[in-house]
Structure 1
Amino acid sequence: MQGTSHDLHSIFSMRAEGEIHPLTLPEQIAEAVFRAIIEGEYELGERIREEELSRRFQVSRGPVREALRILEKDSVVVILPHRGAHVTELSAKEVQ
């Protein structure tokens, strides 16, 4: 289903099952940010800045915003109006 953003669970499930699915740019960014959160690069409640991610991944802010919306859909981040995206607390079940 190319061109449609999936949630992180479906992305990881497809990969675990060996299903070949080319990830969109926002999905790739969402996956990388999720891994950075899991590895402790970002702390709970910490703001994730679009500008920083744009520089890090050498992309415009559009794909970064889409990636953050993917993460928000999975409750990994919360996006607050005029305050940006912040890391939410993940339960052990959500991490798996």
Structure 2
Amino acid sequence: MAVIVVIEMPGVTQEQYEENSEKLTGAPWWPAEGFIAHAGGKTDDGWIVVDLWESADAFRAFSEKALPILESSGMTAARPKVYEASRVVTR
């Protein structure tokens, strides 16, 4: 079942987000299996990411590959919130 992943990152700047996005999408395993969509945006105190994945397992597999990249750039650990999607509509 598809899942919606929400990650709130207080203190993260747009520059940090962009830098890490480039590193992740430049990885040899990108696009990650099960990835559907991504959006990121500024909040009052940092950054937020909302992803759509084919399954929670697909997101976990991606996270295992992505975490070392994020940690190497000094990103603080964020706790993703994962929700089952009841409906997914794409173009």
- Normalised by the length of structure 2, the TM-score is 0.29
TM-score w.r.t. structure 1 length?
0.28
Richer in helix (by share): 1
**Comparing both chains, which one has the higher relative contact order based on Cα–Cα distances under 8 Å and sequence gaps of 6 or more?**
2
Which structure has the highest strand share of the two? 2
